[in-house]
């Protein structure tokens, strides 16, 4: 059935402007609705008034892809088009050169985008509720990890200014300053003076509070020797002030570590229940957390990407060509899903030890002159294409079928 009515919504924090146009561009209705349940009901009633039915819902263009308003509109099979605000600004110039701007006018522009160029835009993917829940948790866990690392960097910078003994004690260990032992000791001794005065019993108690069970006596001796070594010091008053600052950062780091761990457990619970989890985890280099991040960004709508090339372009792993006259340039993409490309680099790096074919592919790219990042991106480009095929055909990863062109390299690697 042909679409004859188009809806545009200019989203705002407290209210939203709605415009409906017909296929000739005539404004049928405009409303301003509130950002609450009553406003959402008014919007749905307005759409129903102009012919919205479950079998042929009116398409909606809006400048955001999330929020309660979008959730209210996603009932049934309604196509929702999330228009980039920059693209909407370019369309605005088609309707006037005066550069005027208003919320009702932007809603009309969005409705006309669907009327004239709906074929050039993609609707929001029809992901399952389970996949969308995984996306929420995986992104939250990734943000928690980034926040934790940011706090670790702040603490490291502060320790370099007045407490080098702490850096010597913990930076060489796995997870560094984010270790529970490091946080427990720095909480008990936020200044070099307090650390130097700590007895073996106090150090032992701090390590036990952090959960350490083995090698405690050896670690106590090591820490005591480092803390009592000779280091340059600030005046006592300045050192105490920096100690207060460190204590505040440590409390924030404690909360960030707890949040990251709890979110990681939630991600594992939800991801492992998804039907695609088994296929995703069959790929070398993909564990639960990384696999959940990949699923969060690609979703489980099998019609979202026309082919593997579309997914590669979305991930930013496929190169882009710019040609004009005799000039031709092939380079990496700058417009991409940043979370997916971040997971892709981690995936490619992890697969080098888990897959002989991936390691052979990476080695061959390096021999051809690629930098490390280029070779990794090329490997991710190949792996994401294989993942698309496996998800479409519902089959797990097969090493021999995935890297058939590198049989000689595989024989050497084995």
pLDDT in tens, 122-152: 899 989 999 999 999 999 999 999 999 999 9
- Distance, CA of 19 to chain centre: 33
Range 262-270, long-range pairs (CB < 8 A, 24+ positions): 263/137, 263/140, 263/141, 263/144, 264/141, 264/289, 266/137, 266/141, 267/134, 267/137, 267/138, 267/141, 267/292, 268/292, 270/130, 270/133, 270/134, 270/137
Beta bridge partners of 19: 8, 30
Reported residue count of the chain is 414
Within this chain, do residues 304 and 229 fall inside the same structural domain, yes or no?
A: no
Within this chain, do residues 114 and 183 fall inside the same structural domain, yes or no?
A: no
Within this chain, do residues 264 and 138 fall inside the same structural domain, yes or no?
A: yes
60, 80 contact by CB (below 8 A): yes
Q: Does residue 125 belong to any structural domain of this protein?
A: no
Q: Does residue 404 belong to any structural domain of this protein?
A: yes
320, 331 contact by CB (below 8 A): yes
* Token output for 68: 């309660």
Q: In this predicted structure, what is the pLDDT of residue 14? A: 87
Within this chain, do residues 338 and 358 fall inside the same structural domain, yes or no?
A: yes
Decide: helix, strand or coil at residue 111.
helix
Q: In this predicted structure, what is the pLDDT of residue 283? A: 96
Within this chain, do residues 392 and 301 fall inside the same structural domain, yes or no?
A: yes
Q: In this predicted structure, what is the pLDDT of residue 405? A: 62
- For 246, residues 6+ apart whose C-beta sits below 8 A from its C-beta are 155, 158, 159, 163, 186, 190, 191
* φ/ψ bin of 2: left (φ > 0), alpha (ψ from -120 to 50), beta (otherwise): beta
Q: Does residue 126 belong to any structural domain of this protein?
A: no
Q: In this predicted structure, what is the pLDDT of residue 308? A: 93
pTM above threshold 0.75: yes
Within this chain, do residues 185 and 286 fall inside the same structural domain, yes or no?
A: no
Domain harbouring 45, CATH code = 3.30.420.40
Within this chain, do residues 193 and 161 fall inside the same structural domain, yes or no?
A: yes
Q: In this predicted structure, what is the pLDDT of residue 124? A: 92
Q: Does residue 46 belong to any structural domain of this protein?
A: yes
Of 240, 269, 298, which residue constitutes the final position of a domain? 269
Of 228, 247, 269, which residue constitutes the final position of a domain? 269
Among all chains, which residue has been given the structure tokens 């820490």?
223
78 vs 30, 113, 115, CA distance in Å? Answer: 20, 17, 16
Q: Does residue 81 belong to any structural domain of this protein?
A: yes
Phi, psi angle pair for 116, to nearest 5°: -100, -35
Of 98, 120, 142, which residue constitutes the final position of a domain? 120
Q: Does residue 386 belong to any structural domain of this protein?
A: yes
Per-residue buried b or exposed e for 364-377, using 16+ beta carbons within 10 Å of the residue's own CB:
bbeeeebeeeebbb
Within this chain, do residues 191 and 306 fall inside the same structural domain, yes or no?
A: no
Q: In this predicted structure, what is the pLDDT of residue 18? A: 94
Q: In this predicted structure, what is the pLDDT of residue 413? A: 41
Q: In this predicted structure, what is the pLDDT of residue 276? A: 95
Within this chain, do residues 138 and 261 fall inside the same structural domain, yes or no?
A: yes
Q: Which stretches of the chain drop beneath a pLDDT of 70?
A: 1-2, 96-98, 405-414
Number of domains in the chain: 3
Within this chain, do residues 94 and 151 fall inside the same structural domain, yes or no?
A: no
With vertex at residue 404, the alpha carbon angle to CA 403 and CA 406, rounded to the nearest 5 degrees, is 75
Within this chain, do residues 393 and 286 fall inside the same structural domain, yes or no?
A: yes
Within this chain, do residues 157 and 216 fall inside the same structural domain, yes or no?
A: yes
348, 328 contact by CB (below 8 A): no
Q: What is the tens place of the pLDDT at every residue in 310-365?
A: 999 999 998 888 888 888 877 788 888 999 999 999 999 999 999 999 999 999 99
> Crossing angle, helix 129-162 and helix 236-271, to 10 degrees?
160
Q: Does residue 252 belong to any structural domain of this protein?
A: yes
CA distance 411 to 357: 10
Q: Does residue 274 belong to any structural domain of this protein?
A: no
59, 78 contact by CB (below 8 A): yes
Q: In this predicted structure, what is the pLDDT of residue 410? A: 44
Which candidate, 284, 299, 290, 24, places its Cα nearest to that of 135? 299
Domain containing 371 equals 279-413
């Amino acid at each position: 059935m042909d679409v004859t009515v188009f809806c545009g919504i200019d989203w705002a924090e407290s209210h939203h402007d709605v415009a409906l146009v017909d296929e000739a561009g005539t404004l049928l209705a405009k409303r301003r609705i509130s950002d609450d349940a009553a406003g959402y009901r008014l919007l749905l009633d307005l759409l129903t008034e102009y012919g919205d039915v479950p079998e042929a819902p009116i398409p909606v263009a809006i400048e955001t892809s999330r929020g309660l308003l979008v959730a209210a509109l996603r009932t049934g099979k309604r196509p929702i088009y999330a228009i980039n605000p920059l693209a909407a600004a370019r369309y605005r110039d088609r309707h006037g050169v005066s550069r005027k701007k208003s919320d009702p006018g932007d809603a009309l522009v969005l409705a006309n985008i669907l009327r004239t160029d709906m074929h050039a835009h993609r609707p929001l993917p029809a992901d399952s509720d389970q996949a969308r829940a995984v996306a929420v948790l995986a992104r939250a866990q990734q943000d928690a990890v980034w926040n934790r690392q940011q706090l670790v960097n702040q603490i490291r910078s502060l320790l370099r200014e007045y407490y080098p003994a702490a850096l010597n004690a913990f930076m060489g260990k796995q997870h560094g300053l984010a270790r529970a032992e490091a946080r427990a000791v720095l909480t008990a001794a936020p200044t070099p003076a307090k650390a130097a005065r700590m007895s073996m019993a106090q150090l032992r108690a701090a390590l036990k509070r952090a959960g350490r069970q083995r090698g405690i006596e050896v670690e106590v001796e090591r820490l005591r020797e480092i803390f009592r070594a000779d280091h340059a010091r600030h005046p006592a008053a300045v050192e105490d002030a920096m100690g207060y600052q460190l204590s505040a950062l440590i409390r924030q780091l404690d909360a960030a570590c707890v949040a990251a761990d709890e979110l990681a457990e939630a991600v594992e619970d939800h991801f492992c229940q998804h039907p695609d989890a088994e296929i995703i985890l069959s790929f070398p280099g993909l564990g639960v957390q990384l696999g959940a991040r990949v699923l969060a960004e690609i979703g489980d709508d099998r019609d979202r990407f026309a082919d593997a090339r579309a997914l590669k372009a979305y991930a930013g792993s496929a190169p882009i060509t710019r040609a004009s006259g005799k000039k031709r340039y092939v380079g990496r993409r700058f417009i991409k899903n940043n979370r997916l490309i971040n997971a892709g680099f981690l995936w490619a790096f992890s697969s080098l030890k888990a897959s002989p074919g991936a390691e052979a592919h990476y080695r061959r790219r390096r021999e051809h002159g690629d930098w490390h990042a280029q070779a990794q991106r090329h490997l991710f480009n190949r792996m994401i294409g294989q993942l698309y095929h496996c998800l479409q055909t519902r089959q797990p990863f097969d090493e021999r079928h995935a890297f058939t062109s590198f049989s000689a390299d595989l024989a050497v690697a084995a």
